[in-house]
Every structure is written in structure tokens, then in C-alpha cells.
Amino acid sequence: MTKQVKTTQRKSTTVLRCAAFARGFRDASNGKPFDYTAFENNPNKQWNYERGRQFAFVYLGKLKNGNRLAWQAVDAMNHAIQSHAIR
């Protein structure tokens, strides 16, 4: 039997800064198929990869302006979470 991943609450900005989230966002934005082997040894990064892919379908802008998160991305992520488009 597979164990469930322990869940914790995180700020949306923490998720947006995650490299796995950014990769998922880029992959989906560029039309790449889901990479089932991405982060296969780290379930938390797998979830962030999937969240990034989901976010790419509800937000068409950039994640960052230089090294800083784009405020539009943070606002869109918060809205996506509140509307249950992303969990």
C-alpha cells in the first residue's frame, strides 16, 4: 500500500518560487506533455510540478520580472486557489 503525502499549508508565493512549479508552468505553457518521471523520488515536488502545469492553463503571463515574482502571478495564483481551480 502506498503512503499518502503529508500535507502542510504554504504561502502561494512559496509555491510560485519552487523550481518544480516553474518547470511545470514552463512545460505546459510550451505545450510539452506531462513528464511522469519528473521528480519521481520527491512527491512534494511532483505536486508542485502538477500545480505549475495547472496554473499555466489559468494564467498566461510571466511568473517573474527579473528575479522577483510578478504581482500579477501572485494575484492570479491566490484567485486560482480561492476558486479551487488549484489545490
Q: Encode pLDDT of 15-45 as tens digits.
A: 999 999 999 999 999 999 999 999 989 988 9
Mean pLDDT in residue range 42-68: 93
Q: Which residues contact 74 (CB under 8 A, 6 or more apart)?
A: 12, 13, 16
- Give this prediction's pTM: 0.83
Tell me the C-alpha distance between 10 and 1, whole Å: 27
